[in-house]
């Protein structure tokens, strides 16, 4: 899969998790969906920040401005999975927060798939997108699994912070018995 395919697959996975949450019949079922949703909403932005955004920054004619605007707009969005992760099963705020995340996610997908991906594909070619897709698949194995809304979102600090956050997340996940997905 090339980079757009990998990212689109992640988008479809998150969309399915939102549907699963909506269809859940109990608080326990909803909480069982929240954990993989938080994981997906934590891992995916880290992957984009490490790989996709640097490419868009250099490949698009107005890439630096576009990426900086995108990052600034999504700082608040990155806080919502952290808030969701802290809520207990049955917390009345969960439904509203998931609905807000779903709306933000739909906007993100629209922006990424219509603004960010077409330009770099034309500018850098399929071979580079294939290599980036392979890099994204490898990076998924070591990406953070918990939200870190205050972590750096731009290299070079991001390049140092992401692996440390991911290692910490995996220790926490094991200690808390969270499923590995």
pLDDT score for 119: 73
Q: Is 4 exposed, middle or buried (0-12, 13-18, 19+ CB in 10 A)?
A: buried
Domain for residue 125, yes or no?
Answer: yes
15 within domain boundaries? yes
Contacts of 155 (CB under 8 A, 6+ apart): 50, 54
**Residue at 181 is within a domain:** no
Q: What is the pLDDT at residue 76?
A: 64
Assigned domain for 180 exists: no
33 CB-near residues (< 8 Å, 6+ apart): 17, 20, 21, 24
Q: How many domains does the chain have?
A: 1
pLDDT for 116: 72
Please give, one letter per residue, the 3-state secondary structure of 84-145.
Answer: HHHCCCCCCHHHHHHHHHHHHHHHHHHHHHHHHCHHHHHHHCHHHHHHHHHHHHHHHCCCCC
Distance CA 106, CA 15 (A): 8
Per DSSP, 48 falls in state I
Per-residue pLDDT at 181: 61
**SS3 breakdown of the chain: % helix, strand, coil, rounded to 5?**
80, 0, 20
Q: How many residues are recorded in the chain?
A: 181
SS3 category, 60: coil
Q: What is the CA radius of gyration of the chain?
A: 16
Residue range(s) defining the domain that contains residue 119: 3-175
From first to last of its 181 residues, what are the pLDDT tens digits of the chain? 888 889 899 999 999 999 999 999 998 899 899 999 999 998 888 888 877 778 888 888 888 888 888 777 677 677 889 999 999 888 989 999 999 999 988 988 888 888 777 777 777 888 988 998 999 999 888 888 888 888 887 777 777 787 888 888 989 889 988 877 6
> In this structure, is residue 64 part of a structural domain?
yes
């Amino acid at each position: 899969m090339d980079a757009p395919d990998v990212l689109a697959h992640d988008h479809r996975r998150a969309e399915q998790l939102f549907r699963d949450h909506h269809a859940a019949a109990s608080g326990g079922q909803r909480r069982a969906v929240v954990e993989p949703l938080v994981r997906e909403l934590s891992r995916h932005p880290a992957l984009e920040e490490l790989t996709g955004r640097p490419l868009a920054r250099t490949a698009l004619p107005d890439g630096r401005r576009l990426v900086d605007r995108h990052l600034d707009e999504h700082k608040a969005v990155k806080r919502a999975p952290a808030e969701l992760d802290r809520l207990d099963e049955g917390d009345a705020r969960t439904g509203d927060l998931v609905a807000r995340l779903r709306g933000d996610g739909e906007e993100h997908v629209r922006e990424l798939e219509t603004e960010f991906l077409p330009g770099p594909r034309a500018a850098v070619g399929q071979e580079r997108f294939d290599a980036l897709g392979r890099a994204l698949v490898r990076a998924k194995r070591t990406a953070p699994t918990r939200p870190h809304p205050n972590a750096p979102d731009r290299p070079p600090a991001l390049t140092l912070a992401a692996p440390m956050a991911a290692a910490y997340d995996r220790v926490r996940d094991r200690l808390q018995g969270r499923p590995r997905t």
